[in-house]
Amino acid sequence: MTTSNKQILLAEKPTDKLSVDHFKLSEGPMPAAGDGEVLCRTLIISQDAANRAWMQGKTYRDEIGAGQVMAGGVLAEVVQSNDAKFSPGDLVEADGGWQEYFAKPAKELQKRSPHDPLTNLLSVLGVTGKTAYFGLLKIGDPQPGETVVVSAAAGAVGNVVGQIAKIKGARTVGIAGGAEKCNWLTSELGFDAAIDYREENLFQALKEKCPDGIDVYFDNVGGDILGAVLFRMNMHGRIACCGAVSQYDTGNPAPGPRGVPGLLVTKRLKMQGFIVMDYYKELEKAEADLTQWVNEGKLKVVEDVLDGIESAPEGLVGLLAGKNRGKRMIRVAEPSS
């Protein structure tokens, strides 16, 4: 067994846009599993816009500082276990970071059942798919015939949100960057309409493509797009706040949309933030539904997989620039069996 551990460190915290120069490839020592801990070998790294937000300060997890291993969710294989609940060869999901090996207390690992392909365990059947599922269905609660709008619609969470909305009988409008992505949403994923926020006037486009107003908005970006959507919301509309990617990769975040309190009151809107673990007790139900929809062909799985841990910095920079379609991941290693 190897005695070194290849790692990607955050060499310097960005003050404006993230670049590959903010990261450093390093060789760390092989970690050891202590009492009640499990030594794991990373197979796949999840890449998410939230990775950038963690560099800005404490959120639902601690801030990432310069010199630390870059944080991130991973799918891994157990190498050695000092806890009876795990055995070598088990698949686990964890906050393992951008490194080949890590040791964690057993209580911080989630056991996963084998699946083909493994990447699905981090995309449609992982935090990504479940984020779409819970945010849309628990907060948005779309009804047949209602209009659902989702921003970053070609991204990991957004494309799943739109497809689930269609499954539930809603009219779905996606907001994405570029004509190619917009065409893909309507021609391949079944969205009823799409808006190119880079080229179209948002207020006019939302009026044209949501003629009956908006009942549910799934917000991944915040900023100006949120502000434009708010003015088209119907009475008693629901807004699920998943992320604010427009505010992450910049040293000068734009101010929030004006008039929010007044609109919330006059239109009786519900606007709620969430994370997946708010619905911990319902994770199995979500995975069962998502699996069924995939097996029935109602939900297409969209993945963007890069190879090699060395590609992780460029992968995240590209994700923040909108170069991915669907869930971006880094394949670090193949399972041992």
**pLDDT at residue 160 in the model:** 98
Q: Tell me, yes or no, whether 296 lies in a domain.
A: no
Structure tokens at 3: 């005695």
Look at residue 260 and give its three-state secondary structure. helix
Banded model confidence at residue 3, pLDDT cuts 50, 70, 90: confident
Q: Which residues contact 25 (CB under 8 A, 6 or more apart)?
A: 6, 7, 8, 9, 310
In terms of domains, do 52 and 78 share one?
Answer: yes
Is the full-model pTM beyond 0.95?
no
**pLDDT at residue 4 in the model:** 87
Domains in the chain: how many in total?
Answer: 2
**pLDDT at residue 103 in the model:** 98
**pLDDT at residue 168 in the model:** 98
Banded model confidence at residue 94, pLDDT cuts 50, 70, 90: very high
Any idea what the CATH number is for the domain that residue 133 is in?
3.40.50.720
Q: Which residues contact 129 (CB under 8 A, 6 or more apart)?
A: 123, 160, 286, 290
Q: Tell me, yes or no, whether 105 lies in a domain.
A: yes
Does residue 331 have a pLDDT over 90?
yes
**pLDDT at residue 248 in the model:** 73
Give the range of the structural domain holding residue 58, as residue numbers without chain letter. Answer: 4-123+302-331
**pLDDT at residue 258 in the model:** 72
**pLDDT at residue 243 in the model:** 87
**pLDDT at residue 181 in the model:** 97
In terms of domains, do 320 and 241 share one?
Answer: no
Q: Tell me, yes or no, whether 171 lies in a domain.
A: yes
pLDDT tens readout for residues 252-263 = 676 667 777 788
Look at residue 174 and give its three-state secondary structure. strand
Structure tokens at 232: 């088209």
In terms of domains, do 94 and 165 share one?
Answer: no
Q: Are 19 and 317 in contact (CB under 8 A)?
A: yes
- Upstream peptide bond of 142 is cis (omega within 30 degrees of 0): no
**pLDDT at residue 251 in the model:** 67
Q: Tell me, yes or no, whether 101 lies in a domain.
A: yes
Distance CA 210, CA 241 (A): 20
Banded model confidence at residue 238, pLDDT cuts 50, 70, 90: very high
pLDDT tens readout for residues 196-233 = 999 999 999 999 999 999 999 999 999 899 999 999 99
**pLDDT at residue 200 in the model:** 96
Banded model confidence at residue 56, pLDDT cuts 50, 70, 90: confident
What torsion, rounded to 10 degrees, do the Cα atoms 304, 308, 313, 315 define?
A: -10
**pLDDT at residue 262 in the model:** 83
In terms of domains, do 270 and 163 share one?
Answer: yes
Banded model confidence at residue 249, pLDDT cuts 50, 70, 90: low
In terms of domains, do 85 and 24 share one?
Answer: yes
In terms of domains, do 230 and 315 share one?
Answer: no
pLDDT tens readout for residues 112-164 = 999 999 999 999 999 999 999 999 999 999 999 999 999 999 999 999 999 99
In terms of domains, do 148 and 261 share one?
Answer: yes
Any idea what the CATH number is for the domain that residue 65 is in?
3.90.180.10
In terms of domains, do 210 and 310 share one?
Answer: no
In terms of domains, do 173 and 185 share one?
Answer: yes
In terms of domains, do 135 and 99 share one?
Answer: no
